[in-house]
Chains A and B, each alone.
Chain A
Amino acid sequence: MVTGILKRGEYFDSVSLMLIAKKISELDIVLDSAAVMGTPENKSMLQTSGLLTDELQNAGDMDLMIAYKCSSQNESDLITQKINEFLKKSGDTAKSSGSLNPSSIESALKILPDANLAMISVAGKYAGDEAMKALQNGLNVMLFSDNVSIEKEIELKNFAMEKGLFVMGPDCGTAIINGVPLAFANVVNRGNIGIVAASGTGLQEVSCLISNSGCGISQAIGTGGRDVKKEVGGIMFLEGIKALAEDKNTEVILLVSKPPADEVIIKIIELVNKIEKPVVGVFLNASIALLKQSKINVAKTLEEGSMLAVALSRGENIETVYNDLESQFSKLQTRAEKESAKLNKTQKYLRALFSGGTFCDETQMFFQNMSEEVFSNTPVGKVKKLKDVWKSEKHTIIDLGDDEFTIGKPHPMIDYSTRNKRILAEADDPETAVILLDIVLGYGSNMDPLAEVIPVIKEVKKMTSQQQTYIPIVCSVTGTEKDPQNRTTVAAALAAEGVLVMESNAAASKLAKFLIEKKR
């Protein structure tokens, strides 16, 4: 039977229309379908296709027509219900800004006079001024916007310090304050570990790993990556440490950052040495010579940092962490041996496609000393810059959240399309030995990542089976059971498709590295 749904005067941009059409076509009980605007020509096409119903005959050019074929009335009712849900979801997105919509910081404060934090996400050139207005009104600031000048950042942070307020950012993508996840953040357990991070995905990874181990987070303060550079001098990173040192709910402090400037490391060490609480530090790719002079428990990876923090928060000996990592090492070696035996002679290189920038840095740390050349669009350490970011060379590690991939597009944690295309391209390259991915769950990220990634994995399997090859896909899933996407569900679905799902990006990177080394 054929059913037609007419939505008069409902406009959907083509992206939404295609998405709705795709979702309808993916319903198993749908035998045939179309979702198009009601032009006379489209009506004639539906007629030729046997999908034009009486109701749709009356559609106008600006009406949306949805037609589908299924086997029974029951199925038809179910499909109609699903379609209405899809449409409502699209509509809700478009209208979502309409409820409380103050036009200034001052008017927002009239609506919420007790607010003590403003989250600012406007164009970079205006964001600094808005942040200053918030500070002048006594509000702490989370500055999600980037492209704020470094001079403005310093001005804001100095002003905030004088007022006893915080400025998290600019370019601060995540924080958890008093249990409330802000921007890209996960639903984690409350607990006694406080985090200061100059790294968004880094903060998400450690907070999830801690929560998944059964411990929890007191506060997670983001500072924006530039805070620990020489020019800003770690103003907010240091203030964050002080705040956690004084916070009665924080018993262990975990610091996460890409390498800070030496001047900032020295200031951090001086401050930490005065604190009685145990402190763990993950400073990716930083020289540990300076850090060794401090009482900071230095971790090489985000995973190790979170394990140390957990051990300390439980009052356990940190040697247990190193034992656990050793045991993990052997297990990964065994698994890598098994996988590498399935590769053929031409398969030599890693192709890592990340949505999280910090993961890209962390994986480069593992691969930078490989005998073959390693390339990235955001190189660190000994890694070389890719000539063309759209084309992989030898070992390639990509941050798809970098500007060149996101112009006019949502962040890759939301929109998987760029990465999906790249996965297929890498799978088609006979030199690809392993594809390494991250999936980051939580608020702000794509709410249905499986719908995005599983079809691509199936396609890779189909391609490789036709070519009689095998490409292992290794993937870490950053998230928790309480995240709206549910980590276990996502991880289980990936594993069911043959993906090698790892607990952390560090473990995933190690497995990928061992696999390539065993292949030699």
Chain B
Amino acid sequence: MIKLLSFGDHLEKGIYNVHSRFDKVINFYSGNAFVFIVNNSIGGGSFNIVVDDVDFSELQELIIAEDHFLLNGAKVFFETSKKYDSQIEIINFNEKRFLQNLDHFETALIENSSTKSLTFLLDESRKKNFKFSYEIEFVRRFDSAIECFTSSNYLEGVKLIKGIGFGLTPSGDDFIAGFLIALNVIQKLEKVDYSNLIAHIYEAAKGKNAFTNAFLLAAKNGSLFDKFKNLIHSILYSGQNEILENTRTLLSFGETSGADQGVGFLFGIKRNFNDGNRNFEKGRIF
């Protein structure tokens, strides 16, 4: 019997087919909509259904209805108490702690991430890990994109990096998703309105890859998967140890995806928090 542990807050009704399958994740699609059947080690997300007691290798069919879903014909009701909340609530914001914690996050990212992740944007010495011509071009494009972002030429920056890089969700798209999440968080922190900018970046970043588009859509909506939500929560409210632990958990997401989203998030915050006028201590090349 399938055990439902949590279900996403942005699931769309429909009949879904298998898009791709991995050990702990089966990606289902219906048109442009995606639902990810995952186990507990992956955790909650706006499009995720987290289940236990399921043989992932046998999953073929998924139907999402109003109050239940059918997985390989087995009917499971959506219990309200198991609905995953992908939004982050911000109360008692302490700016000093937040800024200190961003530094901790930056350090944790650099020290724990894959050598092929975008952390070369935080630590220039990591560029030495990119030796082949594709990789050199990859670094060059990111350097150019950062210049565009820094001069508020966001759409040009997005154009340079969308769809490029390693993995099923390319590094560039992961960075953009992290950047969109940062804008959403700043909206909540500073009560500013970035909705137009967010919408434009999303439109510019969307491609033909429906899978990546689903991730970008979630980021546009400020919907966080739980690894990222826990990390942001710890940056807002906790200290160094918890940030380190949550960074490591985020980094377990793909080989570079977690790190690339993290770098995009950090850049988005640094570039836009307090209208980008704050002097961040570490700064590095941002």
Which residues on the B side are within 8 Å of A12 (C-beta)?
A: 168
Which residues on the B side are within 8 Å of A95 (C-beta)?
A: 57
Task: Produce 1/0 per residue, A9-40, CB < 8 A to B.
Answer: 00111110110010001000000111111011
The answer to whether B283 has its CB under 8 Å from any CB of chain A is no
A17-B255 contact in complex given A41-B172, A94-B22, C-beta closer than 8 Å = yes
Which residues on the A side are within 8 Å of B41 (C-beta)?
A: 408
Which listed residue, A13, A61, A409, touches B254 by the CB 8 Å rule?
A13
Q: How far is the CB of A35 from chain B (nearest CB, A)?
A: 8
Which residues on the B side are within 8 Å of A40 (C-beta)?
A: 163, 207-208
The answer to whether A46 has its CB under 8 Å from any CB of chain B is yes
Measured CA separation A45–B168 after assembly (Å) = 16
Which residues on the A side are within 8 Å of B241 (C-beta)?
A: 388
Are B255 and A18 in contact, CB atoms less than 8 angstroms apart? yes
Which listed residue, A49, A97, A101, A126, touches B134 by the CB 8 Å rule?
A49
The answer to whether B138 has its CB under 8 Å from any CB of chain A is yes
Closest to A126 in B: B53
Are A41 and B256 in contact, CB atoms less than 8 angstroms apart? no
Q: How far is the CB of B217 from chain A (nearest CB, A)?
A: 16
Are A408 and B21 in contact, CB atoms less than 8 angstroms apart? no
The answer to whether B244 has its CB under 8 Å from any CB of chain A is yes
Are A32 and B132 in contact, CB atoms less than 8 angstroms apart? yes
Task: Produce 1/0 per residue, B13-28, CB < 8 A to A.
Answer: 0000000111100000
A408-B207 contact in complex given A14-B167, A15-B255, A45-B137, C-beta closer than 8 Å = no
Which residues on the A side are within 8 Å of B165 (C-beta)?
A: 36, 42
Which listed residue, A33, A42, A98, touches B163 by the CB 8 Å rule?
A42
The answer to whether B52 has its CB under 8 Å from any CB of chain A is yes
Measured CA separation A11–B27 after assembly (Å) = 11
Which residues on the B side are within 8 Å of A62 (C-beta)?
A: 20, 209, 211
Closest to B134 in A: A34
Which listed residue, B20, B170, B252, touches A39 by the CB 8 Å rule?
B170
Closest to A41 in B: B163
Task: Produce 1/0 per residue, B191-224, CB < 8 A to A.
Answer: 0000000000000000111011000000000000
Closest to A18 in B: B255
Which listed residue, A18, A45, A60, A407, touches B116 by the CB 8 Å rule?
A18
Are A101 and B209 in contact, CB atoms less than 8 angstroms apart? no
Closest to A67 in B: B134
The answer to whether B100 has its CB under 8 Å from any CB of chain A is no
A61-B207 contact in complex given A12-B168, A39-B164, C-beta closer than 8 Å = yes
Which residues on the A side are within 8 Å of B132 (C-beta)?
A: 25, 32-34, 49
What's the tally of chain A residues with a CB closer than 8 Å to chain B? 43
Measured CA separation A62–B134 after assembly (Å) = 19
Q: Which of A402-457 contact B (CB under 8 A)?
A: 407-409, 421
A42-B22 contact in complex given A33-B132, A34-B135, C-beta closer than 8 Å = no
Are B170 and A37 in contact, CB atoms less than 8 angstroms apart? yes
Are B252 and A408 in contact, CB atoms less than 8 angstroms apart? yes
Of A14, A94, A123, chain B has the most CB atoms within 10 Å of the CB of A14
Measured CA separation A74–B216 after assembly (Å) = 43
Which residues on the A side are within 8 Å of B161 (C-beta)?
A: 41
Which residues on the A side are within 8 Å of B53 (C-beta)?
A: 126
Measured CA separation A211–B61 after assembly (Å) = 50
Are B256 and A50 in contact, CB atoms less than 8 angstroms apart? no
Q: How far is the CB of B66 from chain A (nearest CB, A)?
A: 29
Task: Produce 1/0 per residue, A38-81, CB < 8 A to B.
Answer: 01111001101111000000001110000100000000000000
Which listed residue, A17, A39, A49, touches B133 by the CB 8 Å rule?
A49
Q: Which of B137-186 contact A (CB under 8 A)?
A: 137-138, 141, 161-170, 172
Closest to A15 in B: B255
Q: Which of A389-411 contact B (CB under 8 A)?
A: 390, 407-409
A51-B133 contact in complex given A39-B209, A101-B57, C-beta closer than 8 Å = yes
Are B114 and A18 in contact, CB atoms less than 8 angstroms apart? yes
Q: Which of B220-254 contact A (CB under 8 A)?
A: 241, 244, 248-249, 252, 254
Q: How far is the CB of A485 from chain B (nearest CB, A)?
A: 23
Closest to B39 in A: A123
Which residues on the A side are within 8 Å of B67 (C-beta)?
A: none
A45-B134 contact in complex given A13-B22, A39-B207, C-beta closer than 8 Å = yes
Measured CA separation A25–B167 after assembly (Å) = 16
Measured CA separation A36–B141 after assembly (Å) = 16
Q: How far is the CB of B210 from chain A (nearest CB, A)?
A: 8
Closest to A21 in B: B166
Which residues on the B side are within 8 Å of A21 (C-beta)?
A: 166
Q: How far is the CB of B144 from chain A (nearest CB, A)?
A: 12
A50-B170 contact in complex given A45-B141, A94-B22, C-beta closer than 8 Å = no
The answer to whether A323 has its CB under 8 Å from any CB of chain B is no
Are B162 and A14 in contact, CB atoms less than 8 angstroms apart? no
Closest to B173 in A: A39
Are A14 and B255 in contact, CB atoms less than 8 angstroms apart? yes
Q: How far is the CB of B110 from chain A (nearest CB, A)?
A: 12
Which residues on the B side are within 8 Å of A101 (C-beta)?
A: 55, 57-58
The answer to whether A327 has its CB under 8 Å from any CB of chain B is no
The answer to whether A466 has its CB under 8 Å from any CB of chain B is no
The answer to whether A371 has its CB under 8 Å from any CB of chain B is no
The answer to whether A103 has its CB under 8 Å from any CB of chain B is yes
Which residues on the B side are within 8 Å of A421 (C-beta)?
A: 112
Which residues on the A side are within 8 Å of B163 (C-beta)?
A: 39-42, 61
Which residues on the A side are within 8 Å of B209 (C-beta)?
A: 37, 39, 61-62
The answer to whether B261 has its CB under 8 Å from any CB of chain A is no
Which residues on the B side are within 8 Å of A126 (C-beta)?
A: 53
The answer to whether B101 has its CB under 8 Å from any CB of chain A is no
Closest to A9 in B: B20
Measured CA separation A408–B230 after assembly (Å) = 15
Are B167 and A94 in contact, CB atoms less than 8 angstroms apart? no
Q: How far is the CB of B237 from chain A (nearest CB, A)?
A: 20
Of B52, B116, B255, chain A has the most CB atoms within 10 Å of the CB of B255
Measured CA separation A21–B249 after assembly (Å) = 24
Which residues on the A side are within 8 Å of B162 (C-beta)?
A: 41
Which residues on the A side are within 8 Å of B166 (C-beta)?
A: 14, 17-18, 21, 35-36
Which residues on the B side are within 8 Å of A49 (C-beta)?
A: 132-134, 136-137
A14-B257 contact in complex given A41-B163, A49-B133, C-beta closer than 8 Å = yes
* Given A25-B132, A49-B137; 14 other pairs, CB 8 A cutoff: A14-B168, A25-B131, A32-B132, A33-B132, A34-B132, A36-B170, A40-B163, A42-B164, A49-B133, A67-B134, A95-B57, A97-B55, A408-B41, A408-B252
Q: What residues make up the interface of B, taking CB atoms closer than 8 Å to A? A: 20-23, 40-41, 52-53, 55, 57-58, 112, 114, 116, 131-138, 141, 161-170, 172, 207-209, 211-212, 241, 244, 248-249, 252, 254-257
22 A-B contacts (beta carbon < 8 Å):
A11-B20, A14-B169, A18-B166, A18-B167, A21-B166, A36-B166, A36-B170, A37-B209, A41-B207, A42-B170, A49-B137, A60-B208, A61-B163, A62-B20, A62-B211, A94-B21, A95-B57, A97-B55, A101-B55, A101-B58, A103-B55, A388-B241
Q: What residues make up the interface of A, taking CB atoms closer than 8 Å to B? A: 11-15, 17-18, 21, 25, 32-37, 39-42, 45-46, 48-51, 60-62, 67, 94-95, 97-98, 101, 103, 123, 126, 388, 390, 407-409, 421
